[in-house]
Amino acid sequence: MKLVQTHIPGFPRIGAARELKFALERFWRGETSEAALQETASNLRARHWETQRQHGLDFVTVGDFALYDHVTNHIQLFGCEPARFGFNGSESPLARYFAMARGDGAHEGCGCAQNGAALEMTKWFDTNYHYLVPEFSESTSFELYSKRLLDEVSEARAAGHPVKAVLLGPLTFLWLGKERDAAPGFSRLDLLDRLLPHYSRLLMQLRAAGADWVQLDEPILGLDLPNAWRNAFEPAYWLLNQAGAQLIVATYFSTLEENVSLACRLPVAGLHVDAVRAASELASVADWLPAHKVLSIGVIDGRNIWRTDLDATLATLLPVLAKRSGPVWLSTSCSLLHVPYSLAAEPGLDDELRSWLACAEEKLAELALLKAALSADERVSGNVARGFAEARAALASRRASSRVHNAGVAARMAELASDASASRRGSPFAQRQHLQRERLQLPAFPTTTIGSFPQTSEIRLARAAFKRGELSAQDYRQAMRTEIAHAVRTQEELGLDVLVHGEAERNDMVEYFGEQLDGFAFTANGWVQSYGSRCVKPPIIYGDVQRPRAMTVGWTEYAQSLTAKPMKGMLTGPVTILQWSFVRDDQARGETAQQIAAAISDEVRDLENAGIAIIQIDEPALREGLPLRRSRWDAYLDWATKAFRISAAVAADATQIHTHMCYAEFNDILPAIAALDADVITIESSRSAMELLGGFASFRYPNEIGPGVYDIHSPRVPGSEEMVELLRKAAKVVPPAQLWVNPDCGLKTRAWPETAAALQNMVAAAQKLRTEVELS
Ligand code: GLN
Ligand code: ZN
């Protein structure tokens, strides 16, 4: 049988014990030297390459490491740092690197992914990893600063490893950037000709340094690309191929569709495809790709943590291998950056659940098994058979497990499917609005907040002590009640109209609910890099979801008992819970979303029964769940909005349902947002100075809106007049009778003094508006 080789597109860089995170934070606090930071980094690389080789990979991947972010690495590599970071001054490269990433560092630790002076941060395709956005204009010039990367290649060579270097391809690099301070009509694609010679030089250097292969990542081949970008690929790669290095172009995360033949005919030595997300295209790629080229098949899911069905994978591979006369590589679908390091750090998981999972290290072991199974080596056959048998048994236990399949949930889903009213409120919005106004008796321009109040260190310490067993449940409850009472009192003093309990008891808006729902599991160390030193530990949804008991009612009821003003119940929506978890792969995501929706609807009902008149269901992740290909948006938005509606539909007409979203680009999904049919939506808009409201106005968003009137991502306290100005603008495009007054997101990352000061100004702004704007 044909000999296959194995590699991976990339490996997590933060370290099994988050060594990089801690080293970075020590360095930023000024506690350690640059040399110490670099030593940690170099040790991590060495360890990660060693791990890759121990699992039989034929090359280690070099260039996937970054102290903060790999896109930022490329900005320095190609010398296109914006001048404001001191590129022309005396700052050291590392100082400039962290300046691009963190600005003045003011926001480190607040979790808001924002920073005034730093480069803008945005999501890496449809993952939860954030990269820093390169800035381009017609005056951008490039220069090659390859020492760091070449040093890494030398490190790997010195350790005796065969090397495959990895770079962002030039088109993806430009695509990920944005124009800034550019002349009208300028497109960053115009820079390609200027950039390519530097790539060529780099490829020659990499080859000379001993890299056997260079992987050029062009995941944008999986997007709906404008023609100008598509057409740029062939000439660009024709040029790069002249450098004499062996190039493999890597695509991932999406189907290639109209770009299959383009990807296959690029003048390079190999192509990597994502055989998980683009499984349906594998056969045609195998047909189209010229026989002499390497076909790298990403058969193991790099985006999720489920153990691979090795038998099924072999069955997929065999016909492809039979067809290809040229070399075949096996790989993970994409870089392993998006999964936790290893299950070895999870002694708390029970054996059954653990047997269903595979993190980065376990995925390397799976690759080794597949490779061995495809080789004729008799020596390994015993081990291979054992490995396959284990995988088979794990899969069978997962398929049959009563922890996964719950007949009650299945029956409820069938019921939901047959009952159209299950996703519809009782009456249309106009009628509900009337009933709600009668019930709530709110003033014009009602004021509220988004849910959380400052998560003070006292709160976090109390929770930590409780989790360690040092604080009794009783005492913890009392501590949280004290916080809630404080939040309620403060809001009353400030004169807010709709109050919240403040979410003191929540560590995280998804984890808090996941911990109380059936079908969820949590790891102790399953960290995944979100950006820079920040990691998240996504819950694992392994089974049918249901809510054994009320999750928030006690806290909300208590808060309501302290005030005569309406207390807003606060829930996380089904799409956001789904989006920020590792989701089971044995049923459609939409089905899992619907199960979560049913659980949330149970909570809505219980809150309502407890007398709560306003309930907010947060969906900050609705937009980021959009598929990469537009042709799939509708299908997604269909089930996503339906899930939200199921969670809200149980509410009586007189119960006011709010939702909250925090991102700037709404306009392309406005119809879907309207389809949620929330009575009130609060959104981020202060930073874009109400610009986005234009979209809501021209679309004639039918329900009530609270455009954030101040930016909670900074400790700055905006003046009342500033907020009045924003509200006047808003009142011009949205009927004033539909307008709410609120900050643009939750306040958990803020401190109390600035929070109270800003809210005081906000309440004053609403009062001012009430005196000057006529309500129609
Ligand atoms: N209710 C949540 C809070 O206030 C909403 C957070 C969010 O939008 N990400 O913290
Ligand atoms: Zn928000």
Q: Which ligand is nearest to the CA of 662?
A: 2
pLDDT tens column, 12-51:
999 999 999 999 999 999 999 999 999 999 999 999 999 9
Render the burial of 99-123: b for 16+ CB within 10 Å, e for the rest.
bbbbbeebbbebbebbbeebbebeb
What percent of the chain lies above the pLDDT cut of 90? 89
> How far apart are the CA of 451 and the centre of ligand 2, in A?
9
Which residues have CB under 8 Å from 550's CB, separation 6+? 603, 606
Mean pLDDT within 448-465: 97
Question: Which atom of ligand 1 lies closest to the CA of 661?
Answer: 8
pLDDT of residue 115: 43
Cβ distance 272 to 164 under 8 Å? no
Ligand 1 neighbour 432 (Cβ under 6 A): no
What's the pLDDT band for 152 if we cut at 50, 70, 90?
Answer: very high
CATH class of 428-772: alpha beta
CA atoms of 161 and 271, how far apart (whole Å): 22
The pLDDT, as a whole number, for residue 110 is: 43
Ligand 1 within 6 A of 618 CB? yes
Quick check: CB of 570 below 6 Å from ligand 1?
yes
Position 698 scores a pLDDT of 83
Nearest alpha-carbon partner for 571 in 522, 518, 516 = 516
pLDDT value of position 1:
55
Q: Which of 312-321, 368-377, 401-410, 434-443 has the lowest mean pLDDT?
A: 368-377
Query: 386 C-alpha vs ligand 1 centroid, how far in Å?
Result: 47
Tell me the β-bridge partners of 5: 329
Mean pLDDT of the chain: 94
Q: Which two tokens stand for residue 712?
A: 């909670």
pLDDT at 695: 81
Q: What is the pLDDT of residue 508?
A: 93
Counting ligands in written order, which one lies closest to the CA of residue 448? 1
pLDDT in tens, 619-669: 999 999 999 999 999 999 999 999 999 999 999 999 999 999 987 677 889
Of all protein residues, whose CA lies closest to atom 10 belonging to ligand 1? 746
Cα–ligand 2 centroid distance for 660 (angstroms): 6
**Domain boundaries defined on the chain:** 4-82+119-400, 428-772
> 733 falls in which pLDDT band (50, 70, 90)?
confident
Tokens (6 digits) for 301: 């899911």
The total number of residues written for the chain in this structure:
776
How far is residue 567's CA from residue 483's CA, in Å, rounded to a whole number? 15
pTM: 0.95
Query: Coil, helix or strand for 2?
Result: coil
Residue 745 beta carbon below 6 angstroms from any ligand 1 atom: yes
What separation in Å is there between the alpha carbon of 433 and the centre of ligand 2?
24
The residue among 610, 619, 608 whose CA lies nearest residue 655 is 608
CA 444 to ligand 2 centroid distance, Å: 23
**Confidence band (pLDDT; 50, 70, 90) for 118?**
confident
Arithmetic mean of pLDDT, 764-771:
97
Does 617 sit in the ligand 1 pocket, CB within 6 Å? no
Ligand at shortest distance from the CA of 615: 1
Which whole number is the average pLDDT over 90-101? 90
Nearest atom in ligand 1 to 452's CA: 4
CA of 619 to the centre of ligand 1 (A): 9
Paired with 568 in beta bridges are 614
The 10s digit of each residue's pLDDT in 546-604 is 999 999 999 999 999 999 999 999 999 999 999 999 999 999 999 999 999 999 999 99
Instruction: Give the mean model confidence (pLDDT) for residues 90-95.
Output: 87
Question: Which ligand has the nearest atom to the CA of 745?
Answer: 2
Q: Which ligand is nearest to the CA of 713?
A: 2
pLDDT in tens, 493-504: 999 999 999 999
Residue from 501, 505, 509 whose mutation best tests the ligand 1 pocket (most atoms within 8 A of CB): 509
Averaged pLDDT, 414-427? 96
More confident residue, 105 or 532: 532
Ligand 1 atom 3: residue of nearest CA: 746
Share of the chain above pLDDT 70, in %: 96
CA nearest ligand 1 atom 1, residue: 451
| Whether residue 513 has pLDDT greater than 50 | yes
CB atoms closer than 10 angstroms to residue 69: 23
pLDDT (average), residues 80-91: 81
Spatial neighbors of 318 by CB under 8 A, at least 6 apart, are: none
Q: Residue 179 has what pLDDT?
A: 96
Which of 459, 503, 572, 744, when mutated, tests ligand 1's pocket best, judged by the most ligand atoms within 8 Å of its CB?
A: 503
Q: What count of other Cβ atoms lies within 10 Å of the Cβ of residue 507? A: 15
Averaged pLDDT, 725-738: 92
Q: What's the pLDDT at 109?
A: 44
- Residue-wise pLDDT for 373-395, tens only, equals 998 666 667 889 999 999 999 99
- Under the banding of pLDDT at 50, 70 and 90, the label for residue 399 is very high
Quick check: CB of 452 below 6 Å from ligand 1?
Answer: yes
Atom of ligand 1 nearest to the CA of 662: 8
Q: From the CB of 746, is ligand 1 less than 6 Å away?
A: yes
* Residues 6 or more apart whose Cβ sits within 8 Å of residue 200: 239, 240, 242, 243
CATH number of the structural domain 4-82+119-400: 3.20.20.210
DSSP symbol at 739: B
**Separation between Cα atoms, residue 427 and residue 432, nearest integer Å:** 6
Quick one: average pLDDT of 717-744?
93
Residue 54's pLDDT is 98
CA of 537 to the centre of ligand 1 (A): 18
Which atom of ligand 1 is least distant from the CA of 746? 4
Residues that are catalytic:
713
For residue 347, the CA-to-ligand 2 centroid distance in Å is 34
Residues with Cβ < 8 Å from 571, sequence gap 6 or more?
513, 552, 600, 603, 604, 615, 616, 617, 618, 647
Mean pLDDT of 219-224: 98
Q: Whose CA is nearest to atom 6 of ligand 1?
A: 746
**Which of 450, 505, 658 has most ligand 1 atoms within 8 Å of its beta carbon, as the pocket-test mutant?**
450
Nearest CA, atom 9, ligand 1: 620
